[in-house]
C-alpha cells in the first residue's frame, strides 16, 4: 500500500511541477519585450491566447513581435516606409494594419483594445 501512495505522490508532484514550469514559460513569453510604447494584444482575441502579439512604436520604426513556444517572429518597418495606418474596430477589440510604401503585405495587428489602437495610430502618424 505504501508503494502505491508513494507512486501517487510522485505523479502528482511531477504534474504540479510541469504545470508550474508551463505557467512560468507562458508568463515570461507574454511580458513586454522592450522599453517604451509597447502595445500588447488581448488574450481573448484569436491567435493571441497563449502568446499575445506585441507592437513597439519608436520614433524611427514600428516593430511587431510575436513570441512562440521556441523563438519569436519579429517584423520591423522604418517610419519612412509607412504609407498608411488603418484601424478596423469591432465590438470589443480593434485590428491595426500598417501599410508600407513598397506595396508588400501590411503588418496586421489583431486584437488590440480600442484606446491602444487609436494611440498606436497617433504615435505612428506624428
pLDDT digits (tens, 9 = 90+) for 89-114: 999 999 999 998 877 788 899 999 99
State residue 2's pLDDT score: 64
pLDDT score of 3 more than 80 = no
E strand spans, 23-70: 37-40, 54-57, 61-67
Residue with cell 495606418: 85
CATH class of 31-125: mainly beta
Give the model confidence (pLDDT) of 11-62 as tens digits. Answer: 999 999 999 999 998 888 888 888 889 999 998 888 788 889 999 999 999 9
Helix, strand, or coil (residue 56): strand
Structural domain spans, the chain: 31-125
Residues 6+ apart with CB under 8 A from 88: 94, 95, 97
Q: Which whole-number Å values give the CA distances from 91 to 36, 74, 111, in the listed order?
A: 28, 28, 11
State residue 17's pLDDT score: 96
Mean pLDDT of 64-92: 91
State residue 22's pLDDT score: 92
Query: Where is average pLDDT lowest: 1-15, 67-81, 106-120?
Result: 1-15
Amino acid at each position: 500500500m505504501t508503494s502505491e501512495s508513494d507512486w501517487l505522490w510522485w505523479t502528482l508532484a511531477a504534474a504540479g511541477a510541469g504545470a508550474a514550469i508551463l505557467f512560468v514559460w507562458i508568463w515570461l513569453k507574454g511580458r513586454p519585450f522592450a522599453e517604451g510604447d509597447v502595445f500588447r494584444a488581448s488574450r481573448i482575441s484569436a491567435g493571441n491566447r497563449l502568446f499575445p502579439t506585441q507592437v513597439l512604436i519608436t520614433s524611427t520604426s514600428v516593430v511587431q513581435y510575436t513570441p512562440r513556444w521556441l523563438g519569436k517572429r519579429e517584423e520591423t518597418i522604418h517610419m519612412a516606409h509607412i504609407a498608411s495606418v488603418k484601424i478596423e474596430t469591432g465590438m470589443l477589440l480593434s485590428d491595426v494594419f500598417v501599410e508600407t510604401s513598397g506595396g508588400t503585405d501590411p503588418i496586421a495587428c489583431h486584437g488590440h483594445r480600442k484606446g491602444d489602437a487609436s494611440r498606436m495610430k497617433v504615435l505612428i502618424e506624428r
